[in-house]
Structure 1
Amino acid sequence: MVNLITGPRGSGKTQQMIDLANEKVKTSSGNVVFIKKSHKDTYTVDFNIRAIRMADYPDILTLEEFVGFLYGMVAGNHDIETIFIDSVLKQANITLESLPVFLQKLNKISSENNIDFYLSIGADKNEISGIDSSDYNVIA
């Protein structure tokens, strides 16, 4: 399942994601991954969560490369149960216009590998097209 947390900048999405990740790792039988552009604001992420700083991978520049990165993570670790992607519009070249394509690709990864995704999106949910599908769970 692909879960979306939407809202304007400064509305507490990152902290909500961290709280969700910290709760998820307590009950998870698999691995929990938290992807963020930088390590800023992640000092409260549980030690058992794999935190990935995308700034460490500067050559991942496109949506396709980012999806390939996710497939590589999944291929290298079949125990991943949940992936959190904070500020998805700051990752690679993902924009509001390309977000529906990205969400479709995540939905495919999710269903093929039984992985839950949680994404924070710095936009109002009425600004995002294609999220009214039953494939997505809009949390906020």
Structure 2
Amino acid sequence: MVKLIIGGTGSGKTKELIDQVNAAVKEEKGSVVCISRGDKLTFDISHDARLIDAKEYPIKGYEGLLGFVGGIHAGNYDITRVFIDGLYKITGEKDAAKAETFLDELSAFSEKHTVNFVVSLSEDPAAATEGMKKYL
């Protein structure tokens, strides 16, 4: 399953994501991972979740992020939830069509490996593509 949290700057996306990470840590039997750009979430999410600062790794574009997620999973098959905060910031590309393709590929990964994803995206909800809307 892939769930998309979309909204403009200051709309509460990160707060919602933090709440979901902390709830997942309490509910999930497996590992919870949160990928963010920077260390701003360090004191907001539970220390039981694995917080990864994407700036520390050479992630380039959507394919790079998908490979990164695959590598994280390959290193720990117990991961059941992955949260990605700020898709455009992490990939360095604000491209709705590429983001839609990424979400579709993430959904296929989710089904194959039984990992659930929550992705936040800074974008006007009216600008979401039809393909993105199925993940809302």
TM-score normalised by the chain length of structure 1: 0.90
Structure 2 unpaired stretches of 5+: none
Aligned-pair distance for 1:14?
0.7
Counterparts of 1:10 and 1:124, CA distance in 2 = 11
Structure-2 change in CA distance of 1:28 and 1:55 (3 Å) = same
1:72-104 residue CA offsets vs partner (Å, 9 max, x unmatched):
111111100000000111112342231111101
Contact 1:18 1:42 in 2 (8 A): no
**Structure 2 counterpart SS, 1:110:** helix
Counterparts of 1:82 and 1:46, CA distance in 2 = 14
Report whether the alignment pairs 1:87 with 2:96. Answer: no
Runs of 4+ in structure 1 displaced over 4 angstroms?
A: none
Counterparts of 1:5 and 1:66, CA distance in 2 = 18
Amino acid at match of 2:70: Y
Contact 2:62 2:99 in 1 (8 A): no
Superposition map of 1:31-50 within 5 A? 31-50=31-50
Amino acid at match of 2:72: M
Contact 1:2 1:107 in 2 (8 A): yes
Contact 2:32 2:81 in 1 (8 A): yes
Report whether the alignment pairs 1:65 with 2:64. Answer: yes
Counterparts of 1:41 and 1:64, CA distance in 2 = 24
Contact 2:6 2:13 in 1 (8 A): yes
Amino acid at match of 1:62: G
Counterparts of 2:8 and 2:47, CA distance in 1 = 28
Q: Which has a greater percent of helix?
A: 2
Alignment-derived partner of residue 7 in structure 2: 7
Aligned residue-pair number = 134
**Structure 2 counterpart SS, 1:44:** coil
Superposition map of 1:1-140 within 5 A? 1-57=1-57, 59-95=58-94, 96-129=96-129, 130-133=131-134, 136=135, 138=136
Q: Identity over the aligned pairs, expressed in percent?
A: 35
TM-score normalised by the chain length of structure 2: 0.93
Amino acid at match of 1:131: M
Amino acid at match of 2:21: A
Counterparts of 2:43 and 2:97, CA distance in 1 = 32
